[in-house]
Structure 1
Amino acid sequence: MLNNVKEIYPLIVSTDNCKLFNNELQFDRHLIFNNGFYIKHQEHVLYLTCNTSNFSPFSVVLSEGEYKEILEAFNRSNKLRLLLSTSNSQVTPCKQERISNVSSELIYNLIYCIEECLKFEEEKCIIYDVLSMLLCYKRDKNQEKTEEYIAQLIGMGEGLTPAFDDLLIGLLWTFDAFYNKYNIFKNAIQLGLKKRNTTSVSNAFYFYAFNNHYSYSLVKLGEAVRNQNFLGIKDAIHEIKCYGHTSGKYLLYGIFIGLNIINCDNIF
């Protein structure tokens, strides 16, 4: 049994996660929900749950017994030492490798799949406004205006990960996955985070993204695109959409915006 902060529990994480962490770390219990809770070490967060329905992009799914034991240990102490070990379990974050030789047709198909999944209901005007503003600043090579505009988006929205943080993470993933020539946006987000406050969990997600690490479903989407597996693309998009309350939807909005920026470059 886990009785105090000095005890170690074998938390199962992926190999890519272990590249980010040492083997043994002290975690704080961070935020608690009905189906799970976040733990935090410095800039890193993980979401522990026994629910397999992908509540968070960075979930570690445990058995009910394991989950209950860790939760009871945290109820006795807000800090716990956890031993990180590797397994074949599907756990995030994972590293997004660059996808080369992506055709314009494939970009079009991916945009269509996202539109088909989201239906673009009440947010349509907002998303197209963001897209048009970013395209305008990129065309004019106006770094200052880009930084000012993106800074306004950081932390905008409610919840654990505000909607526009999710959107910007989706944007970062798109450029990491497909192209590396859009540093104007990545630099603007990094500078914006120095000027604007957002939630600690969003900050952790940005930290992962700046190190090319994303949720399993995003990397799964990238692999489906690499293999031109259209059924796999649709499945991964649906998985992402199911994240949280609106997190998945806004991640996909960010990907949609990024793909359209790439597409405009391919056309012109």
Structure 2
Amino acid sequence: MLKKVIFGILVLTSFNFARTNKEIIDAGNERQKAVFDKNFKSAKDRTAVANSTYTEVMSTLYNENRAYFDREFARLSGNRRSNFRTMYAYYSDYVVEYRKFLQNAFGAFLADTGEFQSYAYTNNYLLLETFNLNMNTYLEAEKDAKTVDENINAIYDYLYSSGDKIDKEDYKKMPASKMQSIVNEEYDKLERLLDVRGNEGKGMKKAAAASKSSLKKIRKSYNNYDKWFDNYVDTSSLSYENKEKLKKIVKFETISNIRFIIQAIEKKTDN
């Protein structure tokens, strides 16, 4: 209990001074390395240690995630307060459904336990971390509009893949509606890939069907989360230009996450 109280104090204290997204990302990488180095130094059962290590890292991220919500929820009032709570509820649903999907898809199509743990961990980590980055981007923008570009660029730099056919600068310039179209295209690609993997045998067909059912729930949860995040941004005091920039980041993050999943599942197809 004492550890939880101390951690809570540390989390709340860390929000009392401005942090850039780059600083948050770097701090997260350093924290992961410290936890991994500590737990794997003398580990014999690496699978069990990996599970406990991932849980430790995720718990820290979730506590930060929840602290952002509690802090902002306490600050807001009226419809904005209610709508922000709705947004976070849909985001929480998204996280739950996302984990279920990864369990179905990676559990079926990644035979190696280490690969399953690694890919699932990375996807779950990014889903929690990007919410924190999004909230930090918005909250810092409310205090100083000049921080928007630096913080949003940090997200693009962090998640952009060098093999992407679309240039990073083009993502920044395109309207949110165009980026949403790309999100839909990537979800469709993932669904088609599940069909391909499902044709590999009876067992795979069953796994693909379960994954596709879970994928539908993810798409619904994502759409609700994205819709209410847009509402949260639109009803803020930010300029129109900065609102449009912020409304694209959840979409870009989703594109990156889906492509990561596709690459993971395709990896086994090529073997």
- Normalising by structure 1, we get a TM-score of 0.30
- The structure with the largest strand share of the pair is 1
- The structure with the largest helix share of the pair is 2
Of structures 1 and 2, the one scoring higher in RCO (CA 8 A, sep 6+) is 2
- Normalising by structure 2, we get a TM-score of 0.29
